[in-house]
Homo-oligomer: A and B are copies of this chain.
């Protein structure tokens, strides 16, 4: 399959686009991460979300450590072609490294950021159980 669709995506000065992951079945907003061209290409080829880790400066195959992969149901692009939306199935029901179902677990309430969602799994259990 031609990858000319990739040429239509506008990456920023660092070669990145923001990618928003939304749970396909519920519409719940899970997280926002970044993709370079290679990450986006591999995401579409493999059917699993691959991001670019800005802190580790390498491809981040979501779930590579946690097992919490994201299966791609749909890929969308915005009007300016510089934002990606992934509609995904979140394996394990946990998108966030904190053990919450999603990264957006806080809301602003009377001038305070309040956690509105519980930790489903202790991060130690998510990441320390590797061989």
**A residues bordering B, Cβ < 8 Å?**
1-5, 8, 18, 20, 22, 26-29, 31-32, 44, 74-80, 83, 85, 96-98, 100, 103-108, 110-113
- Whether B32 pairs with A83 at a CB distance below 8 angstroms is yes
Q: Which residues of B contact A108 (CB under 8 A)?
A: 5, 44, 74-77
What's the Cα separation between A77 and B96 when bound, in Å? 13
The one of B3, B8, B26, B27 that contacts A113, using a Cβ cutoff of 8 Å:
B8
Q: How far is the CA of A44 from the CA of B108 in the complex (A)?
A: 9
Give every chain B residue within 8 A of A74 (Cβ-Cβ).
Answer: 107-108
The CA-CA distance from A96 to B130 in the complex, in Å, is 45
Interface residue from B2, B5, B29, B105 paired with A79 (Cβ < 8 Å): B105
Asked if A78 contacts B103 (CB within 8 A), the reply is yes
Determine if B79 and A97 form an interchain contact, defined as CB atoms under 8 angstroms apart.
Answer: yes
Question: A1 and B32: CB pair below 8 A?
Answer: no
